[in-house]
């Protein structure tokens, strides 16, 4: 797994100047947007993310949190000392991904049988 010190912006190799391509290079994988979904639903800690029904592996979770932080989509802060515990929260930039989430959810609801809108009621309803 990639070794990168927390909170330093990585210069991603740019495939093209396309806004869609560049966005996908940041959040275009199977897990990143699920974490954003969870945060929009109010989750904030490592442990809470692990509880989601999709079952993200712990190493992937740690990696994605680091990436999202580096991209300025989320921010990490200690919510208590002794012992130190961290909370993750969406930045303004991250909150704006709500529109993407909503579009994805709407598409799934219309086009995939048996899918449900929310796991946590009231999270990203219109």
Partner DNA sequence: CTAGTTACTTGCGTTTTGCAAGTGTCTCGT
Partner DNA sequence: ACGAGACACTTGCAAAACGCAAGTAACTAG
76 DSSP assignment? E
**Is the Cβ of residue 72 or residue 102 nearer to DNA in the bound state?**
72
Q: Which is nearer to its own copies, 32 or 44 (CB)?
A: 32
Q: Does 17 bind its own copies (CB under 8 A)?
A: yes
Tokens 């992937």: give the residue: 60
Given 9, 82, 116, 126, the residue binding DNA (CB under 7 A):
82
Alpha carbons 28 and 3: distance in angstroms, whole number: 20
CA pair distance 3, 98, nearest whole angstrom: 29
Strand partners, 87: 77
Q: Determine, following the binding rule CB under 8 A, whether residue 28 of this chain makes contact with its own copies.
A: yes
Note the residues at the interface with DNA (CB under 7 A).
1-2, 29-31, 45-47, 55, 57-60, 62-63, 65, 76, 82-86
């Amino acid at each position: 797994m990639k070794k990168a010190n927390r909170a330093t912006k990585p210069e991603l190799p740019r495939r093209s100047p396309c806004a869609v391509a560049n966005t996908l290079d940041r959040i275009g994988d199977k897990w990143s947007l699920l974490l954003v979904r969870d945060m929009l639903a109010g989750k904030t800690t490592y442990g809470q993310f692990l509880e989601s029904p999709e079952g993200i592996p712990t190493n992937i979770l740690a990696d994605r949190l680091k990436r999202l932080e580096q991209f300025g989509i989320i921010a990490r802060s200690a919510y208590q000392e002794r012992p130190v515990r961290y909370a993750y929260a969406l930045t303004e930039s991250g909150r704006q991904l709500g529109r993407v989430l909503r579009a994805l959810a709407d598409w799934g609801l219309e086009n995939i049988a048996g899918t449900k809108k929310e796991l946590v009621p009231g999270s990203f309803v219109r």
